Structure 1
Amino acid sequence: MEGNTALSGKVVSVATGEAHSLILTGDGRVYSWGKGMFGRLGTGSEVDELFPVQVKFETCVEKRLNFVGVAAGAYHSLALADDGSVWCWGYNIYGQLGVSGENYSMPHLMDQFLELGSLGSLIDHSETKSEGPLKICSIKAGGMMSLAIDDHGALWMWGNCPQQRNKTGSSISFESSFIPIPVRDFHGHSVVKVACGSEHVVALVSAGETYKGEDLVCYSWGNNNHGQLGLGDRESRVHPEIVEMFNKDSSWDVYEVACGAYHTALLTRKRRTVDPLESVCWTFGLGDNGQLGHGTTQSVLKPEPVKELPGQAYLISVDCGLFHTSVVSSVGDVWSWGMEKGLGLCPDASFTGTDAGDAASPLLMSGYGVDGPIFHNPIQVACGAAHTVLVANDGYKLWSWGRGTSGVLGNGKTINCFAPSFVLWPPLTEDFKQPEPKTVGEESNGSKAVAETDKRLSLAMEEIELLQSKLSIMEQYGGMLHGLVFGRPFTYQDIPISLQNSGNFDIAKEWESMLESADHSKLRRLELFYRDMRATIKDKIMKRRIQEIIKECLPSSTTAK
C-alpha cells in the first residue's frame, strides 16, 4: 500500500487544453499550468503559470474533496470528485461551465446535476423515480463543449452542443446550453467512453444494457464537413450513428477514442485472439497536415489503419491535438504525426531547414537512454493544441514538448521544445513544507520555524530561477551552434554516450566516431560548413593584416613629409 507521500507525487491522469494542462494525483488533488487567460487554470487569476500549481477548491464543509477525474476543453477545465460532484472553471461564453454568465477563474460547483434525476426517469414518465440524486462517474471536454457519463451509463452534454435545426428537418445547428442535455439515443445501453472535437462527438457504447468487456459499438455525430464522423460521407448528423467498421459484429474491439479539431483516432485490438499485442490505430477526418498518419495529406471519410506503426506494439493511449496525433505503447515508445513533425506547432513557430515540415507518417519520439527507454511504464499521452504531455514511470515523471509560450510545457521556460523536456514535478514547494505547530507552547517556535523556512524557500526559488535562466540561455546558444553545424535542433541523443555515462569524454575520439557513423549527406554538409568557416576566417585574417600594414605605413608617411 502506497503512503500518502507517494500518492501525492503520483500522476494518475492528465488533460490538455489549447494552451494549458491539468493533472490528477493519486491522493485526489488537481494541479494546472500554462496560459492563464480566461481563468482556465483555476488559480483565481489570469496569470500564466510556468510550473504545476495546485488548484484550490472552496467548499462549505471542512472535509477536503477527493478528485477522481479531470478534463480540459480549449479554454475551460473540469474536475470530478468522488462524491459525483462536477467542478468547472475558465471560459464560459457557451455555458460550458454549467452556469449562465461570465467566466470563472476559480472552480465553481456545477449544481445542475443536483436537480436532475436519472435519464431513465426522464424518459419513462411513470411514477417510478430513481433513488437518490444523479451521480456523475466520468467527465470529458473538448472545444467549447463539456460531457459527463452518469452511474447509469447515460451521456450528458452542455456548452456548444449539436442540436436539430427544426422539428421536421435533419439539418444540424450548434446552440449554447448551460443546462446538461441528455443524449436519449443510448437509452437501454451504457456509454463507456466519449471524446469530442470542435463540433463532433464519438462515443463507445455497450451493445447490451451493460458493458461486458469486448462488446463496445462506436457511434459518432455532430459536424462532419471533413469526414470526422467516419461514416463515409461529409453529411453532419444530429443523432448518433454507428461507425460500421466497429459495429457489434466487428472483429475489432475498440478500447480508446480521441478527437482532434476535425479528425478522430481509435485504438482497437482483435476480438477473440490469443495475441494481445495485435493493436491497431485507426484515423479518419481532416488530413491536411498529415494528422491521420497515412503518409498523405488527404482527408479520409472512413476509418483507415495507421500502417506505419509497428505491428507488435500494443498501444495503451492515444490523443489528438488540433492538427497532430500521438500514441504511446506499453513499452514506452511514443509516436507522433501531423503538423510540424507531429509537434502541432504552427509553421511560423517552427524550426526551418530540411528537417522542417509536417509529418504525414508516424515519427518515433527521441526517448531512449543508455539503459533502455526513458519512458518506461507509461500511463497516458495527452495532446493540446500545439503541445503534448506524457505521463510515465508509473506516474512519477512527466515530459512535455511542442509550443512553450506562456509556460505551456510546465518546465519553467517559455520557449518551444522539439524534443521531450521534463515537467517540473513534483512542485519544488512541496519539498519545503514543514508541519504546522501542534500546541500553544510550541506556537511561537513553530511560527519562527515556518518564517525561516519561507525565507529559505524564497532564496532557493530565486537561485533556481537564476540557474534556469542561465541554463535556458546556454541551451539556446548550444542549440544554435548545433543547428549551424548539423542543420537540425539539438536533442538528448546528440550527447556522446561516454559523456552520458561518466561526464568525461575524449573529444578527438568522439569526433572521429561521429565522422565514421555519418552518412554521405551529413559529411557533405559538414564539409560545406567548414569550407565556409575557413573562408570566413581567412578573409578576416587578411583584413586584419591589411589594417596592420596600413598602420605601419602611416607613421612612415607622416615622417617623410
Structure 2
Amino acid sequence: MGKSDNLSCYRIGIPKDAPITFSYSKPPVSFRFPLPVSREIFRLVPVLVLLVSVTVLRGGNHSVYLKSDGTLMAMGQNTYGQLGDGTTTDRSSPLQVVDSLGNPLSGVAGSSSGFNHTVYLKSDGTVWAVGRNTDGQLGDGTTTDRSTPVPVLDLSGNALNGVVGVSSGESHTVFLKSDGTVWATGYNAFGQLGDGTTTDRLYPVQVTYAGGFALTGIVGVSAFGNHTVFLKKDGTVWTVGKNYYGQLGDGTTTDRSNPVQVVDAVGTPLSSIVAVAGSNHSVFLKSDGSVWTVGLNNAGQLGDGTTSDRNHAERVKDMLGNPLTLVAGIAARNTHTILLKSDGTVWATGNNFNGQLGDGTNVNRSNPVQVATQVQRLMEEFPPYFVSVATVSVPENQIPAIDLNASDPDGDVLVYSLIPGGDSSKFYLNTSSGGLTFQNPPDFEKPGSVAGSNTYTLTVGVTDGTAPVTKALTINVTDLNDPPVFTSPATISVSENQVLAIDVNASDPEGTALVYALAGGADQGRFLIDSSTGVLTFNSPPDFEANASLAGDNAYAVTIETTDGVSTSSQSLVINVTNVNETPGVLSGAVALMAENLTFALDVNGSDPDGTSPVYSLSGGADAAAFSINAATGILSFLSPPDYESPGSAAGNNAYAVTVRISDGSLFVDQAVSVTVTDLNEYAPVFTTPASSSAPENLTFALDVNATDADGDSLIYSLAGGADQAKFSIDPASGVLRFVNPPDFEANGSVAGDNAYLVTVKADDGLYPITQAVTVTVTNRPDPPVFTSAVAVDAYENQVVALDANATDDDGDVLVYSLAGGADQDKFEINSTSGLLRFKTPPDYENPGDADANNSYEALVRVADGTFLRHLTFSITVTDVFRPIVETRPAESVGADSAVLKGEVMDGGGAAGVTSGFLLSLDPDPRFLKTGVTDLTGGIDTGSFSVTASGLVAGKKYYFRAYAINGEGISYGSDGHFTTIADLQPGWIGATPEATKDWWTSPWLGRFFQSSNGWVLHEKLGWVFPVRSPSAGVWLWLDGVGWLWTDDKVYPFLYGEGGVGWLYFFGLHDGTRLFYDYQLKKWRTVQNP
C-alpha cells in the first residue's frame, strides 16, 4: 500500500501458491512471478502479499532481488549502470546481474542499494559494487561509474575482505568487518564516513573515535541518506554525518565527522538497542519492546505526538500519550515509520498523503495508529548476515566445531540450517543458537570427511523469515598429542636410612623422550627427582624412628609429573618407609679431663635409634684395669683416686686409655676414651722483686716485676692501685712495668711531687692472687738541647740577616751555637750566643751565590750545652726585591708657616723596613742632592705616612714629592704643591685673638674660628665666607641665603643681595638659624652647619 518511496509492505500468513504482488519501483508498478506487468493500484488499507525465495532491495529508482541460490536480479533506472547488467539501459523487468565476463554474479550473501549504486556482499567476505561512482562510493579507487560489479579494494589495492555486513547511503557505503571494525567510502561532505574529515574517499577508510582510536565492537551498521548509524555489541548506538534535523541524536544539530553517542532528553546514552531504521530520522528498537526516535518530524514520523524535530531520542507514544510497548520490529521510509508488535499488529505514524500508513485515510499521524493484524514481519530490505569466520581448526576427539553467529539489522529472530551436501551429514546444528557440532568426535588418525582427509566442507544458512543467506564452511581437524602413561607403581615400601625411593617410569605413545618433575604432594619438599631418568630420591635418608612425613605415619606422599613437551601426565605416589634395627650411637665425648684425687672420670652416654635402653661395659684399653663402669647409667669411675704427682697410667703421663662398649642386645658400638688427670693448685705465688726501685727520666721502663709459683702455674700480672697507678701500665704475661709517658725529672709528675711514684702490682695464678706496693723513684739525667726554630725560611735579598736559630735546654744549660757544615757554610756567620745567622755579604737575587745557584742556601748549625751536641740543617731561600711604589697625596692643613704632607707606600717591593719621606723645595721637581731641597723622613714601613712641614714662609708656593727607599733603591711619587696663607690675621674685621688657636672675638660680631682656607665658623651664623667691602662693612656668604652685607652699626640686621632685602638675625632656635624677612614679612629658617 502507499506510493513510491512511501509504500509499506507486511508479511501475513497465506498459502504458498497465492499470487505475489510487489510495489518497489519508481514510478511504481506491480508484477507477478513469472513477471506479467500491471500498473500500480494505490491502496489505503493493506492487501495480501506472498513471499517467495527472493530478497528485495530498494535503491533510489531501482530494485535488486537476491535469490536463494546467491545470484541477483535487478530492474528500474539504469542511468549509471546500477542494475549491473553491463548496460546503462533502464529496465522495466528484472534482468540478471552479471560480472565483467557476462556470467551471473554468484555467491552473494547480502546486498545494499544506495540512491544510484548497489553493493553486494559475497559469502567469502569480499564486496562488489556497481553503478554511480562520482564520489568514490564504489570503493574501487576511482570515480568511474561501473555497469558490471567490481571488487571493493583496500588502500593497498587488494580486495577488501573479512566483511560481514554492508549498508549504502545516498552516495556513501559502509562495511562491517568480522572483527567488529567499520570502514567507509564515498561522499563525505557531512562527515558521514566517520574518519574525522569531510574529504570524499575512493577507498574504504576506518571509522574512528574523535581521538583517532578505531571504532570497535560493532555488530550492525545502517547507512541512510547522509548519515550513518552504528549498533554496538553492548547495545549502545553511535551516529555520524549530517545532523541538520538532529537525526544523530546527540543533543545538537551539528554535523559530526566522528561517531557520537545517541542520548535521551537528559543526556543519558541509549542502551539495550536491538534494531535500527531511518531516513532523515532515526528509529531505535530496545530489547524491552520500547521504540525511540530522533530527527526530522515534519509529518509526525517520530510518533511522539508532535511535528517538532528532535535532536535527542524521544520515546514513541500511543494516541493517549502512553509509551508504546511490546514492539518486535521497526521500519522507516522518508517521512513515515512502521512498527510491528509481538501480537502481530502493525502500527504506523507520519506522512499519509498517499495512504501509505494503511489506516484507510490520507491524514498524517503524529502518534502510531493500528493498520494491520496477523503480520509476521515487516518487509524491510535488510537481510541477515554471518559475522562468524568461514574457516576454523578444531582438535580431534571433541564434538564442538564452531558457534555460528549472524546479525540482522532488523532485529528479527534468526534460524540456522544445514544445507545438504559435502560433509553436512557428519554434523549437528542447533537451529536457534547456531552451535555446530560433530555427530561423533573426529579422529585425526582416521579421517572421516567425504574427501578422506581431515578437512570437512559444508554449507550453512541463516534466515530471518525470508530466503536463507548461506555461507561455505571449512573445518580442519588437527592432531592431538597423546599424553605419557606411567608404568611404575603408585605405592611402594623402602627401608629407612637410604635415599633411593623409586625409579619412576612412564611411556609415551609417540616415543618422545620424557622429562620428569616434582608436581606436588604433602611431602614434596622431602624429595628430588632426576628429570631424565625419573629416579626419585629422598633429600636425606628417612629415619623410621624420627618420622618426618607430614601425616606422621612414615607414608610419604608426592606427586610426579612427566611431559613429552606437549602433553603432561601426573601420578600420586606413596612411599612407605619401614623400620630397620640400627646400631646404638655414642653421645658423650672421647676425651675427658678430671682433677686428681677424685674417682669420677666420665658420664658415658649412648642412644639406640630403635628406642632400646643401652647397656654399658668396658671392652679394652691400656688402662681398662684402672676403671669400672655402671652398666645401666654409663658412669665411668677410677677404682682408686689418681694422684697427679704419681701418674698411674700405662704411659706414665696422667693420660689413661680405656674402651667403653654400648650395646642394644644385638648390635654394639665401641668408643676409645682418653681420661687426663690434671693437677690441683696448692700454693700462692711469691714476689721476688724489691718493693723500691729507681728509673732515669725520659724513659718508659720502670721495673721488671717478677713472682714465682710453687705449682708452676702461669702468672697474670696487673695493676691493683697506688696513688700514681694511672701513670703506669704492666705487661700481663712478663710483668714489665712501664710509665704510660716518659717521666720528666724537671716537671715532676708524681702525686706527692717528689718524683717518687707509688703503684700496687698484682700477680695471680688463677686461684691465689697476691699484691705488692712498689715505689719507683725517677732520677735526673742531662737533657740535650732541642732546636725550636723553623728549618726552612725565606729571606729578602740585599739584607744580611738570614734567620734566628733558636734552641732550648730543659736543664737550663748555657747553649753555644756554631756552624758545622752545609753546602753554603762559607756564606754565613753565626752569633755563638744568640744563634743569629747572618750572610757575610748581602745576597743578590739576580746573582745567586749558593752552591746550586738557585737562591736556596744551606747551612748546618750546631748547638752544644756542654754535654750534648745537636745539629740541624737550615735552608734559606732568597726572594726577589724591587723598588718600592709610592704615591704623593695632596697637602692638608696648610697654614701660614706649616702644612701636613701626605703620602702612601703602595708596595714595599717585597722588602721589610722601607724608609719613606718627602722632599720639599720652593723650586719645582725636588730631588735628592738638589740645592734648597729639604728631606723630611716619614716612616720605615709600607702604607700611608705623613710629615708636618713647619717653619714655612707665609704666602709662598712650595713643591713637594713623596719618596720610598729599600735595598733595591729609591722611588719617587708624583709632584705636589701648596701655597701658605699670607696672613692669618682676620683683617676684614676688628678682632682680637683668644687663647685657643685660631679663635677670635669681634666686639660687634661675636666669636668665630678663622680657618686657613678663608672660611669662618661663626658661633651663631655657622660657616660663612667673609669679604671686606670696599666702602664699609663686610659681605658674608651664607649657604641657603647668599651674599649678606652688615657692619658694626647694623648687625644683627643684614641686607641680602639680589632682591632678598633686609633680614633680621634672631639667632639659633632649636638648632636652626632664624631670620625675619622684612620683604616677605615672615620668619625664615636656615639649616647651615
Q: Same fold (TM over 0.5)?
A: yes
Distance, in Å, in 2 between the alignment partners of 1:50 and 1:82 is: 32
Counterpart among 294, 304, 311 of residue 360 in structure 1: 311
- Tell me: CA distance 1:319–1:243, structure 2 relative to 1, closer, same or farther (3 Å): same
Contact residue 100 and residue 149 of structure 2 kept, 8 A: no
- Tell me: CA distance 1:23–1:113, structure 2 relative to 1, closer, same or farther (3 Å): farther
Distance, in Å, in 1 between the alignment partners of 2:360 and 2:23 is: 10
Corresponding residue of 2:278: 320
Q: How does 1:82-231 map to 2 (within 5 A)?
A: 82-99=68-85, 100=87, 103-106=90-93, 108-112=94-98, 134-162=106-134, 173=143, 175-185=144-154, 187=159, 189-206=161-178, 215-231=179-195
* SS of residue in 1 equivalent to 2:132: strand
Q: How does 1:44-55 map to 2 (within 5 A)?
A: 44-52=38-46
- Tell me: CA distance 1:259–1:312, structure 2 relative to 1, closer, same or farther (3 Å): closer
The one-letter code matched in structure 2 to 1:393 is S
User: How far apart are residue 30 of structure 1 and its match?
Assistant: 10
Distance, in Å, in 2 between the alignment partners of 1:140 and 1:266 is: 16
User: How far apart are residue 232 of structure 1 and its match?
Assistant: 0.9
* SS of residue in 2 equivalent to 1:388: strand
The one-letter code matched in structure 1 to 2:317 is S
Corresponding residue of 2:754: none
What's the CA shift string for 1:134-158, capped at 9, x where partnerless?
2211121232222211221221222
- Tell me: CA distance 1:418–1:267, structure 2 relative to 1, closer, same or farther (3 Å): same
User: How far apart are residue 282 of structure 1 and its match?
Assistant: 0.6
What's the CA shift string for 1:338-364, capped at 9, x where partnerless?
11279459xxxx99xx95421111110
Counterpart among 222, 225, 232 of residue 268 in structure 1: 232
Corresponding residue of 2:349: 401
Corresponding residue of 1:448: none
By relative contact order (CA 8 Å, sep 6+), the higher-ranking structure is: 1
* SS of residue in 1 equivalent to 2:5: coil
Corresponding residue of 1:558: none
- Tell me: CA distance 1:359–1:248, structure 2 relative to 1, closer, same or farther (3 Å): closer
Distance, in Å, in 1 between the alignment partners of 2:56 and 2:114 is: 12
Distance, in Å, in 1 between the alignment partners of 2:210 and 2:131 is: 28
Contact residue 157 and residue 181 of structure 1 kept, 8 A: yes
* SS of residue in 2 equivalent to 1:287: coil
User: How far apart are residue 238 of structure 1 and its match?
Assistant: 0.5
What's the CA shift string for 1:121-175, capped at 9, x where partnerless?
xxxxxxxxxxx9722111212322222112212212222235669xxx98x74x5
What's the CA shift string for 1:253-290, capped at 9, x where partnerless?
10111122111111113xxxxxxxx4211111111111
Counterpart among 376, 388, 400 of residue 326 in structure 2: 376
Contact residue 77 and residue 90 of structure 2 kept, 8 A: yes
The one-letter code matched in structure 2 to 1:187 is A
User: How far apart are residue 82 of structure 1 and its match?
Assistant: 1.1
* SS of residue in 1 equivalent to 2:170: coil
Distance, in Å, in 2 between the alignment partners of 1:247 and 1:196 is: 26
1:18 aligns with 2:5: yes
Distance, in Å, in 2 between the alignment partners of 1:114 and 1:51 is: 44
The one-letter code matched in structure 2 to 1:390 is L
User: How far apart are residue 333 of structure 1 and its match?
Assistant: 0.8
* SS of residue in 1 equivalent to 2:229: strand
Structure 2: gaps spanning 5 or more residues:
32-36, 376-1089
Distance, in Å, in 1 between the alignment partners of 2:310 and 2:275 is: 20
Corresponding residue of 1:285: 241
Contact residue 195 and residue 202 of structure 1 kept, 8 A: yes
What's the CA shift string for 1:171-200, capped at 9, x where partnerless?
x74x54331222133737222111111111
Counterpart among 334, 344, 351 of residue 385 in structure 1: 334
Contact residue 58 and residue 64 of structure 2 kept, 8 A: yes
* SS of residue in 2 equivalent to 1:88: strand
- Tell me: CA distance 1:288–1:253, structure 2 relative to 1, closer, same or farther (3 Å): same
Contact residue 39 and residue 89 of structure 1 kept, 8 A: no
- Tell me: CA distance 1:53–1:112, structure 2 relative to 1, closer, same or farther (3 Å): farther
* SS of residue in 2 equivalent to 1:232: coil
Q: How does 1:519-530 map to 2 (within 5 A)?
A: none
1:338 aligns with 2:338: no
**Comparing both structures, which one devotes a greater share of its residues to helix?**
1
The one-letter code matched in structure 1 to 2:59 is G
- Tell me: CA distance 1:45–1:164, structure 2 relative to 1, closer, same or farther (3 Å): same
Contact residue 20 and residue 40 of structure 1 kept, 8 A: no
Counterpart among 53, 62, 66 of residue 66 in structure 1: 53
Corresponding residue of 2:644: none
Contact residue 74 and residue 144 of structure 1 kept, 8 A: yes
The one-letter code matched in structure 1 to 2:278 is C
- Tell me: CA distance 1:231–1:376, structure 2 relative to 1, closer, same or farther (3 Å): same
* SS of residue in 1 equivalent to 2:244: coil
Contact residue 153 and residue 203 of structure 2 kept, 8 A: no
Corresponding residue of 1:38: 27
Give the TM-score, by structure 2 length.
0.30
Distance, in Å, in 1 between the alignment partners of 2:190 and 2:170 is: 12
**Comparing both structures, which one devotes a greater share of its residues to strand?**
2
Contact residue 263 and residue 270 of structure 2 kept, 8 A: no
Give the CA RMSD over aligned residues: 4.1
Distance, in Å, in 1 between the alignment partners of 2:306 and 2:67 is: 45
- Tell me: CA distance 1:21–1:114, structure 2 relative to 1, closer, same or farther (3 Å): farther
* SS of residue in 1 equivalent to 2:75: strand
Corresponding residue of 1:410: 358
Contact residue 181 and residue 215 of structure 2 kept, 8 A: no
Distance, in Å, in 1 between the alignment partners of 2:212 and 2:131 is: 31
The one-letter code matched in structure 1 to 2:328 is P
What's the CA shift string for 1:228-261, capped at 9, x where partnerless?
1111111000000011239998584101111221
* SS of residue in 2 equivalent to 1:18: helix
What's the CA shift string for 1:506-547, capped at 9, x where partnerless?
xxxxxxxxxxxxxxxxxxxxxxxxxxxxxxxxxxxxxxxxxx
* SS of residue in 1 equivalent to 2:191: coil
User: How far apart are residue 366 of structure 1 and its match?
Assistant: 1.0
Distance, in Å, in 2 between the alignment partners of 1:199 and 1:178 is: 16
The one-letter code matched in structure 2 to 1:317 is A
Counterpart among 400, 419, 423 of residue 367 in structure 2: 419
User: How far apart are residue 327 of structure 1 and its match?
Assistant: 0.6
User: How far apart are residue 336 of structure 1 and its match?
Assistant: 0.8
* SS of residue in 1 equivalent to 2:297: helix
Distance, in Å, in 1 between the alignment partners of 2:168 and 2:346 is: 25
User: How far apart are residue 81 of structure 1 and its match?
Assistant: 2.0
Counterpart among 290, 298, 304 of residue 260 in structure 2: 304
Contact residue 37 and residue 46 of structure 1 kept, 8 A: no
Distance, in Å, in 1 between the alignment partners of 2:30 and 2:211 is: 39
Contact residue 288 and residue 326 of structure 2 kept, 8 A: yes
The one-letter code matched in structure 2 to 1:324 is H
Distance, in Å, in 2 between the alignment partners of 1:335 and 1:32 is: 32
Contact residue 225 and residue 234 of structure 1 kept, 8 A: yes
Contact residue 402 and residue 417 of structure 1 kept, 8 A: yes
Give the TM-score, by structure 1 length.
0.55
User: How far apart are residue 102 of structure 1 and its match?
Assistant: 5.0
User: How far apart are residue 402 of structure 1 and its match?
Assistant: 1.3
Q: How does 1:530-541 map to 2 (within 5 A)?
A: none
Number of equivalent positions:
359
Distance, in Å, in 2 between the alignment partners of 1:146 and 1:188 is: 16
Percent identity between the aligned chains? Answer: 25
- Tell me: CA distance 1:94–1:295, structure 2 relative to 1, closer, same or farther (3 Å): same
The one-letter code matched in structure 2 to 1:244 is T
Distance, in Å, in 2 between the alignment partners of 1:246 and 1:140 is: 28
- Tell me: CA distance 1:115–1:317, structure 2 relative to 1, closer, same or farther (3 Å): farther
Distance, in Å, in 1 between the alignment partners of 2:21 and 2:282 is: 22
